Structure 1
Amino acid sequence: MSVTAPDAGLSTVWDVGLDDAPVALSAQGDLVAVAGAEGTCSVLDLATGERTHSVDLPGGALHAALSPDAGHVAATGPTGYALWSRHDGGTTVRETGAWSSVARWADTERVAVGSGRRALVLTTDGEELWATEPAASTVTDLAWMRGGRRLAVAAYGAVRCHERHQTAPVRTYPYLGSHLTLAVAPTGRWICSGNQDASIHIWRTRDAGELTMSGYPEKVARLAFDDTGFWLAADGAPDVTVWDFSGKGPAGTAPRSLRCHESVTALAWRPASGGHLATGGDDGTIALWRATAGRPEARLRPARTLDGDAAVAALAWAGPHLLIGAHRDGRVRAYRLPSRTTL
């Protein structure tokens, strides 16, 4: 690997190779979970990169999520899901035969799993607490709201919100199309979906006011709010677009544009960073950005780029100082940024 920008304190902490091509990353506490395409979910020590445990999910993996206390891993895949406990090393595997797209933790005790056309809310032992009624098609993404008291479920035609233990939705946000990804502002003020029809659809939660941002050249498969809830990053083009959600929101405004990759494959906001964003591309490049600098319609340049040998599969921050990057050739690297203000 080569660092193509002048060094400003960034260093590689560890660099490991895995036998299964990574498709997703999660970092919490002192652990990193890496989901592999063939179904191996590797649990790595954050300090060293050493693999301490692995979870095998028959049929392959799509997603992995560590619980907030790093005590459990939920892994999902085309044929079911698995839960791993750090306390006793036990793994519970459910081969449901249903496409399980994603897992999202509400807290240290409850995890929601997309399972076919339903969302299942489970305990850490895999006990089903409740499930949503079937959606029109396969659940594609989930997001917890109101401190884990409400679950947003994305599937074809709508985002539906469920209160705890309520199978029927208490609020429905319709949009005729296939939702690929979901982002909810930390404030709870906005729900956004990235869509197969190359658009972002936005709902204002207090009154269900709607806005569609269309015209992307490609489907929008990745969305992420920063910690403030004022900035939304999206793919859907060679440029990453960054929309300003402060004030009355993005209606009538233009985004900032970040161009470094031919095709964007990952993006992740630095925690509590004041606008620092990491993006990855199919060319293996990881770019670090001051993504909220400049004015609307500005085209920004990366503050730093890191070159890898294979496409970037996923990015995750482990606090504000460690960035984890996984490449499709099995390489997983941790980079240290010693200052909150340094990129």
Structure 2
Amino acid sequence: MPAPRLTVVVTRRLPEAVETRMKELFDVELRDPDTPMSRDDLASAMRRADVLVPTITDTIDAALLAQAGDKLKLIANYGAGVDHIDVATARQRGVIVSNTPGVVTEDTADMVLALILAVTRRIPEGLQVMQSGTWAGWSPMALLGGRLGGRRLGILGMGRIGQAVARRARAFGLQVHYHNRKRLRPEIEAEHEATYWESLDQMIARMDILSINCPHTPATFHLLNARRLRLMKPSAVVVNTSRGEVVDENALTRALRAGELAGAGLDVYERGTDLNPRLRELPNVVCLPHMGSATIEGRIEMGEKVIINIKTFADGHRPPDQVVPGQF
């Protein structure tokens, strides 16, 4: 007899192609409407599921895992980041955690360059002029931005996404610098024409643009704090497409309002959707709703990775994207 199909609970709506394939392979509960589950909903889902497919909007901490019961065996996260999941506690309870690494690399790197261009060339301000109907025609001094070529780009976190940003940056004539937990191999540095800085403080004091591409861990919480923001040049720009918690958002807001920074491009925020209104209102800040990885191709690829992880687990093997506690 064939093995019984796994019960899979998905916490958010996914692309139709992904949901259709899941229905073919598993006994799947899909989310409708597409709203975040409450903690009670998540606890209930974890009690009746063999596999939970959460997203970044689901905080799965030790207290919630304690309510899971014995049926749950796999948390197949839809996304690469797992800082919303207590991986160590899950492992202690015999629950494997997997993720979807590598899928959003190119899409997120595209968004980094889009934000750099948007801030340095004042694109949203130009768009607002056109949409308000107040444009009176071309002027030599109107909406003057800055040229990218020749500027120094500091990349904080030179993993997959950081290196993808570096490849794009070179095409725009930017000088690539980086700070990372570990220095890259010489041949990778040479490929990206990248300069390594062991000291983050020394790097950011000399950069024209800082791109944050590191994960959120206890070690990176408020890595860009008030002290480090004061080290940056008043003409510098900060771009964050990684995790909002890496930046002290209140300190960033104060620096921007005081003219101590030239601008910021943000796709992630320290308190999720609770964005500081003073930050949102600044004309030199471009705020996006966490859409760095929002391409249909990327979302489908993420779903395909989730399915492979679940199917491999169902076949009695280690999921290819299993997360090891302390990995991030």
For the aligned pair, the TM-score class normalised by the smaller chain equals under 0.3
- Bigger helix fraction: 2
Q: Which has the higher contact order (CA 8 A, sep 6+)?
A: 2
Larger Rg: 2
Name the one with the larger strand percent.
Answer: 1
TM-score (norm 1): 0.26
Q: TM-score, normalised by structure 2?
A: 0.27
